Amino acid sequence: MVGMSLVDIDLIIGGPQGGGIDSAAQVVIRSFSIAGYETYGIREYHSNIKGRHSYFHVRIKDEQVRSLRYPVDLLVCLDYETPFVHIDDVAKGTIVLYDEDLKGTKIEQVLTMEPETKKHITERLKRDNLETTLSGAIEYMKRKGAVPFPVSFRDLVVKALGPNKPPSRYANTLGASMAMALVGLPPEFTMSGIASVFGKKKEVLEDNEKIVNGGYEFVKTKNGMGTKQLKVLETKERYIITGNEAVAIGKVVGGLKLQTYYPITPAADESFFLEGHDYFEEGNVSSISEENEVLKKTGVVIVQAEDEISAIAMAISGAMTGARTATGTSGPGFSLMAEAIGYAGINEIPVVITLYQRGGPSTGLPTRNSQADLLFAIYAGHGEFVKIVYSSGDVDEAIQDAVKVFNYAEKFQVPVIHILDKNLANSFYVIDQLDYSKMKIERWLKTAEEGDADRFKLTSDGVSPMAFFGKNIIWLTGDEHNETGHITEDPETRDEMLEKRMKKVNLILKTIPEDEQVQVFGDDNPQVTLLSWGSNKGVILDALDQLRKEGIRGNLVYVKLMNPFPSGLVSKYLSGSKLIINLENNYTGQLALLVRQNCGIKIENSILKYNGRHPTQDEVYRSIKKIINNEEKTVVMTSGA
């Protein structure tokens, strides 16, 4: 039940890139999951391998968790940069765990910190007449009501493991285990979490177990700290995955046979994960029927191409050969793919492109979140052709949609862009066993007989019988073509062919079930309607729950089929609304532009965020309130380090 949560903890663990933040995140999520809690966590990191500040923000609840929140309840600083950078992420009661051996560090000594960040933090400390040292930062947070929790990482590591082990290597598990001790997770769950992450390496596991014991012991010695004990909840077998991995799992179950890619953040993790899971033997594959025992082993071919142009080209021709084929990329790589997407358009090729948005333009913010590529995805490629752009907003959607986008591609014989973002790609989710009934595979509406075939046969719905290399004698060309696929510039044939392709717009909107196009969540007769897409879904629903507690009824009109645009449905769902607010992670409000273009509805209010960080529940809530109270029409959200 909503709002009955007894446990609701926001935790940040910060440290240098390469300092084991990811392992700490895994330990925290696995430990709480084993104890039956729900978690949701996002990684924030620089485009850098070693040294720059990275952090992991996780929220832990005893009920469904869909978003993060500031201020946090616990800030764990594994290095001297974290207390400076997260100086404003705390409030009354926040426990700030930091390394007391570093307290004299001056901000100018923090070489990994960007000068702009240094300047902003220095200004804040000076404004409060505080030293620009780590002690000053701790004092700044103390004045906001935070509770400092000084620890000597070196002493604790030496105590646990002796003098020969480098403290920096264990700071991550030490910090994580003290955090879990402070919120009262019984140590056996932390031990299970540790075993689940480091279980394969015996020595590493033993060292880390000693570290956990040391951490819990130390917290106990502090007066009044670590005395509470969290309840253990019922649990079942679950998986921890990222959004990238969710898409990969959906693709594999959905019949992916060939995936091409060129390394790019934040898309490459999906293909990298697939490379480690690309061959399946009996037990992982069920044979089709008793008569067909062929499929006892199978695989997915993952190819690292020489660039994104090659990746999309390989994927397109793989799809024309009859294999379920996809490629994955992000903004800069997607830009390179634009010409080939047009080729897939004119040749009606069922290829899937998974697009993980990141901050642009150009290299932009390579490791940060954005929703600024929506219009580009819709319009990528010159000339006019039909493509589907389909959006997922959480991990369950990502898994199921990874199957759906293949179905759409093959049924309608169009390229499909599955659009997601860094926020979803790099978040950690805990999922149950898959519900295979929601992952039905649907293939072509019609296929050609073997041998000679007219690849582009004119039909009433625009869809020709699908023909393949290896089965049919067919021709494809990027030129305008006749039914056989040979080049033609005949004006009447041009009209027929272009109109044939464009007919699919109606077919797509008529065929895809309404609730796969647009969804509505929340109250009837809403006082406020949020319009959004993608990974904002969870945070908006949490903010609406918060408003509901104050008696404000709200709903969310959540668009999934971004192109062709479901104008009728969106108009219908927005028509009764008294106050509509568009919320997106971009500057121009691209979904609102689409609504205006397609539905003729001008949305007057918007909540936007474009600093590359994820929107949090508190700021979404505050921003909606500002608009309801007529204080502002456009609110720009700015939280996040």
Q: Which of residues 10-39 bind other proteins (CB under 8 A)?
A: 30, 33-34
* Binding residue (CB under 8 A) for other proteins from 60, 160, 240, 268: 240
> Please, which of residues 53-92 interact with other proteins by CB under 8 A?
none
Q: Is 451 in the site for other proteins (CB under 8 A)?
A: yes
Nearer to other proteins, 142 or 296 (CB): 296
| Contact status: 479 vs other proteins (CB under 8 A) | yes
Question: Which CB sits closer to other proteins, 338 or 458?
Answer: 338
Distances, alpha carbon 425 to alpha carbons 260, 398, 422, in Å = 18, 10, 5
Decide if residue 383 touches other proteins (CB under 8 A).
Answer: no
- Smallest separation, CB 248 to other proteins (Å): 9
CB of 245 to other proteins, least distance (A): 7
**Residue 590 in tokens:** 């691209």
Shortest distance (Å) from residue 321 CB to other proteins: 4
Residue 460 is a binding residue for other proteins (CB under 8 A): no
Q: Which of residues 342-361 bind other proteins (CB under 8 A)?
A: 343
Interface with other proteins (CB under 8 A), residue from 41, 148, 243, 318? 318
Please report how close the Cβ of residue 32 comes to other proteins at its closest, in angstroms.
Answer: 10
3 state SS for 72-103: CCEEEECCCCHHHHCCCCCCCCCEEEEEHHHC
Closest to other proteins by CB, 115 vs 451, is 451
**Count of chain residues binding other proteins (CB under 8 A):** 90
Residue 237 touches other proteins, criterion: CB under 8 A: yes
Distance CA 423, CA 453 (A): 45
Which of 54, 133, 317, 464 is in the footprint of other proteins by CB under 8 A? 317
Contact mark string toward other proteins, 395..424, x via CB under 8 A: --------x---------------------
- Identity of the residue, 410 or 618, whose beta carbon is nearer to other proteins in the bound complex: 410
* Residue whose tokens read 């004990």: 229
- 472 lies in the binding site for other proteins (CB under 8 A): yes
CB 232 → other proteins: shortest distance, Å? 12
444 scored as a contact of other proteins (CB under 8 A): no
Q: What are phi and psi of 4, to 5 degrees?
A: -100, 10
- Per the DSSP assignment, residues forming a β-bridge with 38 are 61
Q: Per-residue contact track with other proteins, 216 to 235, x per CB under 8 A? A: --------------------
CB 6 within 8 A of CB 31: no
Q: What is the DSSP letter of 481?
A: B
Name the nearest CA neighbour of 371 among 129, 79, 606.
Answer: 606
Place of tokens 């901050």: 359
Minimum distance of other proteins from residue 238's CB (angstroms): 5
307 binds other proteins (CB under 8 A): yes
Question: How far does Cα 167 stand from its chain's mean position?
Answer: 33
633 binds other proteins (CB under 8 A): no
301 sits near other proteins (criterion: CB under 8 A): yes
Residue 441 as a binder of other proteins (CB under 8 A): the answer is: yes
Q: Is 201 in the site for other proteins (CB under 8 A)?
A: no
Nearby residues of 418 by Cβ (< 8 Å), 6 or more positions away:
247, 352, 353, 354, 355, 390, 391, 392, 401, 402, 405
Beta bridge partners of 606: 582, 634
Query: How far apart are the C-alpha atoms of 99 and 81, rounded to whole Å?
Result: 11
Query: Cβ 36 to other proteins, closest distance in Å?
Result: 11
C-beta atoms surrounding 452 within 10 Å: 11
Judged by beta carbon, residue 411 or residue 500, the one nearer other proteins is: 411
Helix axes 567-575, 590-599, angle to 10 degrees: 100
CA distance 313 to 329: 13
| Binding of residue 486 to other proteins (CB under 8 A) | yes
Beta strands 554-559 and 518-522: pairing type?
antiparallel
Backbone angles phi, psi at 469, to 5 degrees: -65, 140
**Rounded distance between C-alpha atoms, residue 568 and residue 91, angstroms:** 46
Instruction: Please report, in angstroms and rounded to a whole number, the separation of the first and last CA atoms in the chain.
Output: 32
Q: How far apart are CA 27 and CA 22, in angstroms?
A: 9
Which of 147, 225, 232, 434 touches other proteins (CB under 8 A)?
Answer: 434
How far is the C-alpha of 260 from the C-alpha of 291, rounded, in Å? Answer: 33
State which of residues 314, 424, 528, 540 lies at the interface with other proteins (CB under 8 A). 314
Name the one range near other proteins by CB under 8 A: 285-293, 492-500, 510-518, 581-589: 285-293
Residue 326 is a binding residue for other proteins (CB under 8 A): no
Indicate whether 2 belongs to the interface with other proteins (CB under 8 A): no
The residue among 196, 424, 422 whose CA lies nearest residue 331 is 422
Residues 514-573 binding other proteins (CB under 8 A) are: none
